Amino acid sequence: MTRSITRPVAGRHRLLAAAVAACFAIPAWAAGPTALPSGATNLVGVSNMAYEANKLTITTSAARSSADWDKFSVPTGMR
């Protein structure tokens, strides 16, 4: 004798829909390093670039420094 258990499908569909919606509802403050300037090339005088959460720290040991950025965008609220 084979036994099958049925469960309400609608509840699982609602849970899946809520999970997918949550993935797209990430606030800007949680965006991470991709929301900060990125793709620095031709670095002159820059010693280190460190991304930490929503913060980019650039340290230099030279009197003058420069960098060419592929993307330089700082969203509202991330200053």
- For the chain (79 residues), the mean pLDDT of every run of 10, in chain order, is 60 63 52 67 82 84 85 72
Q: Determine the distance from the C-alpha atom of residue 39 to the mean position of all C-alpha atoms in its chain, rounded to a whole number.
A: 15
Element at 13 (helix H, strand E): helix 9-24
Task: Report the pLDDT value the prediction gives residue 29, as an integer from 0 to 100.
Answer: 43
Contact 29, 77 (CB under 8 A): yes
For Cα atoms 39, 43, 46, give the angle at the middle one, nearest 5 degrees.
110
- Is the whole model's pTM more than 0.85, yes or no? no
> How far apart (Å, rounded) are the C-alpha atoms in residues 69 and 49?
13
Could you count the other beta carbons within 10 Å of the beta carbon of residue 78? Answer: 14
